Every structure is written in structure tokens, then in C-alpha cells.
Amino acid sequence: MFRPTYPIRTARLTLRPVTPDDLDDVYAYQRRPDVVRWMLAEPRTREQSRASVAAMAGEDALRAEGDCLTLAVAADAGVIGTVELVWRSQADRTAELGYVFHPDHGGRGLATEAAAALLDWGFGEFGLHRVQARCHGRNEPSARLMRRLGMRQEAHHVASYLFRGEWADQLVFAVLAHEWRSRTAAA
Ligand SMILES: CC(C)(COP(=O)(O)OP(=O)(O)OC[C@H]1O[C@@H](n2cnc3c(N)ncnc32)[C@H](O)[C@@H]1OP(=O)(O)O)[C@@H](O)C(=O)NCCC(=O)NCCS
């Protein structure tokens, strides 16, 4: 089992497992249409958020391929979002990064800071070889975040998936362990 030593601290944030007490904070952004604008999800009711928080609370470690590690990102204002790492392949040592943040706390580099801390753990402690992330072709804030992290755009799949009943493009970004190490060494 692979479990970070909690909490993970960054300059401005604390990353730790989600708990049922996070419901109010998580619902505050899961309920918003602008948050799910480019995601395959709908705005959640409070009861749906309760179920989501309960599910995320169990995602505190990577036990087997396919597992998702979800961390609550806490700032002074409380939980402002989550970052996640899905363990895609044990043999290839690959994972997929995800993130969702409350727009009220956007534009300050907090999502980048949290995602970088999770990548540090993924490449460092967990020993990943490659991390990828994907987004809707029009999710510009997400694409900018991946570029800010130093991820390389490796694909632009045209009309590759059904999004709200229409064909949509998908962007694929990735970073390798040695690239992440040289980026963080240079920072
Ligand atoms: C994707 C998402 C997390 C990006 O949020 P964000 O606020 O743009 O990202 P950050 O918190 O890292 O802030 C970066 C912005 O702050 C600015 N910034 C200010 N201070 C900064 C700092 N110290 N460090 C880095 N960036 C800083 C950056 O220039 C950037 O602005 P820009 O994109 O206009 O150039 C957010 O839009 C979101 O949660 N969307 C909804 C969910 C979603 O779509 N998830 C992805 C599914 S694929």
C-alpha cells in the first residue's frame, strides 16, 4: 500500500485525506455550473456531494492499480479543492492527474501549487515514471495549468469523445520523472 505521510504541506496549503466534515466546503464548489463546465459531471445536489465526499474519503492511499488517491487542499479559507492521482499501470508506473478548485480561490497559483506537491509525491515517494492529464479541448484554464506544471502537450484528439451529446476534442499532456526532477531542481 502506498500512502503519503499526511499532511503534505506546501508554502500556502495543506494536503490531506478528505473527511466527512469537508462536505460544506466541497459542496460549495461542486454545486456550481461553472466548475463542471468542461467536465463529464453535472452540478451536484448536497446529497450527491455527501456521497462524493464519502467516496473521496476512502481514497487516501493507492492499494492497487486503478485506485485513485484524492487529497483535500486546505487553505486558510478551508478546503478550496481537491487534487487526485489515478494509478493507471503498475507495470508502466503511470498515473493520471486531476484537479477541481473553487473559482473564488482561482488565479493565485494555488491549484498549481497543490498539483505540484502531488506530483512530487508521485514521482518521488511512489516512484512513477510518467504522469498524464487530459482535458476538454476548450478547457483553457486546465491546459494552462498543465503547461505551468511543465507538462508537454502530446496529443490533440479531434472529436474523440461525446461531451454533453456532442463530439469534443481532448488534449493530452504528460511529464516524465526525469523531466519533473530536472524542473524541480531548476526551480
Ligand atoms: C483547472 C483549474 C484548477 C485552474 O485554476 P486556476 O485558478 O487557473 O489555477 P491556479 O490556482 O494554479 O492559478 C493560476 C493562475 O493564477 C495566476 N497566478 C497568480 N499567482 C500565481 C503564482 N504564485 N503561481 C502560479 N500562478 C499564479 C497564473 O498566472 C494563472 O493565471 P492564468 O491562467 O490566467 O495565466 C480551475 O479552472 C478549475 O478547478 N476548473 C474547474 C474544474 C476543472 O475543469 N478541472 C479540470 C478538469 S480536466
Taken in order of first residue, the domains within the chain and their CATH numbers are 8-186 (3.40.630.30)
Q: What is the CA radius of gyration of the chain?
A: 16
Query: Does the beta carbon of 13 lie inside 6 Å of ligand 1?
Result: no
* Reported pTM: 0.97
- Quick one: pLDDT at residue 67? 98
Query: Does the beta carbon of 112 lie inside 6 Å of ligand 1?
Result: yes
Residue type at 128 in one-letter notation: L
Nearest-atom number in ligand 1 for the CA of 106 is 7
Query: Does the beta carbon of 106 lie inside 6 Å of ligand 1?
Result: yes
- Quick one: pLDDT at residue 186? 77
Provide the grid cell at 32: 456550481
Query: Does the beta carbon of 173 lie inside 6 Å of ligand 1?
Result: no
Mean pLDDT, each 10-residue run in order, the chain (187 residues): 97 98 98 98 98 98 98 97 98 98 98 98 98 98 98 98 98 98 83
Q: Report whether 79 contacts 116 (CB < 8 A).
A: no
Query: Does the beta carbon of 172 lie inside 6 Å of ligand 1?
Result: no
User: Which residues, including other chains, have CB under 8 Å from residue 29's CB and lie 6 or more apart?
Assistant: 35, 80, 81, 100, 101, 102, 103
User: Which residues, including other chains, have CB under 8 Å from residue 34's CB and lie 6 or more apart?
Assistant: 103
CA 116–ligand 1 middle distance (angstroms): 12
112 CB burial (10 A radius; 0-12, 13-18, 19+): middle
Query: Does the beta carbon of 135 lie inside 6 Å of ligand 1?
Result: yes
- Quick one: pLDDT at residue 185? 78
Output the CA–CA distances (angstroms, integers) from residue 187 to 91, 95, 116, 181, in the order listed: 30, 23, 12, 10
